[in-house]
């Protein structure tokens, strides 16, 4: 179909867009529903305080930046509907737990662990920026080689500063299990990074 034809068809029904925008989508709320000012204020505060953490948690689950933003929005929409049920002291845990479930519900097919195809070119073009991005990508790459149930705890503890009791409560597992999984996650992560390091040295010296 030619773009010109598509444009014509779209313009024929000029009011269609407005109608569709305002229509609900099954399963995906369009935006936070109307709520009392106090709730809106609380949601804003939660978003300001935790949106980056939620987004990062989703990124570490393998979602790209855009998908992580969509999933973050979905996470806060869930929170918006559950505000009365969320203790003020456990907002962060609620959001992280919800984000993990959102990521799971999106399925593994959205996960992207591969390095950018044009990474080599970007290395040469913009080293300052790239180094930070490279480090993030390598971190994700290393995490992708860690058993998922271990990596989850590693991310929450090492990157997002949740405490072991918080993680235990969040995942409903014993504190000892958190400790053992964290230990094993560290072993696996460090093994991957050490192999990566060796490879870099070897290639660098070649």
Partner 1 sequence: MTSDPKRLTVVGATDLERSLLQAARRERPSHELTARMAAGLGISAAAVTAAAAVTTAAPGAAAAAPVAVAKTTLAAWVPAGVLAAAVAAGVVGVRLSSAPAPVGQNKPAAAVVAAPAEEMPAMAPPVGASTERRSEKIRRRTAAPAVVPAPPAPVPAGDLRDQIALVDAARTAVKARSTARALVLLRRYDVSYPGGAFRPEVLALRIEALAEAGHAAEARGLAREFLARYPHSPLADRVGRVAQK
Interaction residues for partner 1, span 130-189 (CB under 8 A): 131-132, 134-136, 138-142, 145-149, 152, 157-161, 163-165, 170-173, 175, 177, 179-182, 184, 186-189
Q: How far apart, in whole angstroms, are the C-alpha atoms of residue 181 and residue 196?
A: 22
- Taking the complex as a whole, the smallest distance from the CB of residue 55 to partner 1 amounts, in Å, to 5
Buried b (16+ CB within 10 A) or exposed e, 138-155: ebbebbbebeeebbbbbb
- Here the tokens at position 18 are 């407005």
> Please, are residues 109 and 156 in contact by the beta-carbon 8 Å criterion?
no
Nearest-approach distance from CB 167 to partner 1, in angstroms: 10
Instruction: Work out whether 97 is an interface residue with partner 1 (CB under 8 A).
Output: yes
CB-nearer residue toward partner 1: 38 or 85: 85
191 near partner 1 (CB under 8 A): yes
Provide, rounded to whole angstroms, the least separation between the CB of residue 82 and partner 1.
6
Nearer to partner 1, 38 or 107 (CB): 107
Told to check if 126 binds partner 1 by CB under 8 A, we report no
CB 181 within 8 A of CB 147: no
Q: Which is nearer to partner 1, 12 or 38 (CB)?
A: 12
Task: Evaluate whether 189 touches 196 at the Cβ level (below 8 Å).
Answer: no
Question: What is the Cα–Cα distance from 96 to 81, expressed in whole angstroms?
Answer: 16
Angle formed by the axes of helices 164-171 and 91-106, nearest 10°: 50
User: Measured from the CB of residue 38, what is the shortest distance to partner 1 in angstroms?
Assistant: 14
Cβ proximity of 150 and 160 under 8 Å? no
Q: Token pair 């990596």 is at which residue?
A: 151
Determine the Cα–Cα distance for residues 29 and 51; give it in Å rounded to an integer: 18
Binding to partner 1 (CB under 8 A) within 1-30 occurs at 1, 3, 6-7, 9-14, 16-18, 20-22, 24-30
- Is 24 or 88 the residue whose CB approaches partner 1 more closely? 24
83 contributes a contact to partner 1 by CB under 8 A? no
How far is it, in rounded angstroms, from Cα 118 to Cα 64? 16
Site string for partner 1, 42-61 (x = CB under 8 A): -xx--xx--xxx-xx--xx-
Question: Per rule CB under 8 A, is residue 110 in the interface with partner 1?
Answer: yes
* Minimum gap (Å) between residue 109 Cβ and partner 1: 4
């Amino acid at each position: 179909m030619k773009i010109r034809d598509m444009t014509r068809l779209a313009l024929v029904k000029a009011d269609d867009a407005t109608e569709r925008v305002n229509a609900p989508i099954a399963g995906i709320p369009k935006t936070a529903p109307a709520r009392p000012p106090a709730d809106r204020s609380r949601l804003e505060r939660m978003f300001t305080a935790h949106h980056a953490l939620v987004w990062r948690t989703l990124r570490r689950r393998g979602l790209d930046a855009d998908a992580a933003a969509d999933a973050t929005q979905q996470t806060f929409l869930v929170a918006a509907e559950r505000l009365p049920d969320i203790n003020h002291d456990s907002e962060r845990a609620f959001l992280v737990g919800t984000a993990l479930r959102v990521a799971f519900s999106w399925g593994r097919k959205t996960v992207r662990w591969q390095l950018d195809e044009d990474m080599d070119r970007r290395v040469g073009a913009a080293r300052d920026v790239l180094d930070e991005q490279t480090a993030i990508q390598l971190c994700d790459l290393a995490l992708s080689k860690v058993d998922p149930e271990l990596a989850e705890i590693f991310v929450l503890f090492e990157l997002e500063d949740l405490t072991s009791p918080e993680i235990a409560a969040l995942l409903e597992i014993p504190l000892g299990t958190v400790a053992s999984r964290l230990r094993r996650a560290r072993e696996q992560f460090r093994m991957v990074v050490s192999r990566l390091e060796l490879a870099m040295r070897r290639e660098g010296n070649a």
